Amino acid sequence: MKTLSISGFVLALLGIAVTVYNQFVYVAKYHAHLCKTDILSQKDCVQTQDMQLLLGQTAIIAGVVAFVMCLLPAIAHKKNYFAYIGIFFSFLCILAGLMQATHLFDYTGYFAK
């Protein structure tokens, strides 16, 4: 069970790394373009938005799998601290992935069409 909780913890950290990379590379690039109207910028804008959505969905899936991997050892053994920390990080991973992939907290209005 300890290896399962450590694996879930590492997967949650990888999911958080994906969300941080997505936030600083693709989300920033998308907002820098501001979806201009010429053909080249529209193509770049669509590509960055698609990659932003893909990485956000990847973070959601990694967070859910990490949550399940850490929940089982947390229920079986009460003193498995990697499991509890992994559950916390998986919640962060799921929340950040939802913010990036579904535009849940898009206050800028760039995604409103």
Domain contains 84: yes
Number of domains observed in the structure of the chain: 1
Domain contains 48: yes
Give which of 17, 10, 1, 9 is closest to 84, Cα–Cα. 9
Domain contains 29: yes
- Residue recorded with tokens 């080249």: 40
| CB neighbour list of residue 84: distance below 8 Å, 6 or more residues apart | 70, 74
Domain contains 113: no
Distance set, CA 103 to CA 6, 13, 57, 79, 107 (Å): 31, 22, 11, 37, 9
Domain that holds residue 88: 2-101
Domain contains 106: no
- Predicted model pTM: 0.83
* Dihedral sign of CA atoms 90, 95, 101, 102 in order: positive
Domain contains 108: no
pLDDT, one tens digit for every residue, the chain (113 residues): 888 889 999 999 999 999 999 888 887 776 666 666 666 667 777 788 888 889 999 999 999 999 999 999 999 888 888 899 999 999 999 999 988 888 666 555 555 55
Domain contains 111: no
Residues 59, 53: Cα–Cα separation, whole Å: 10
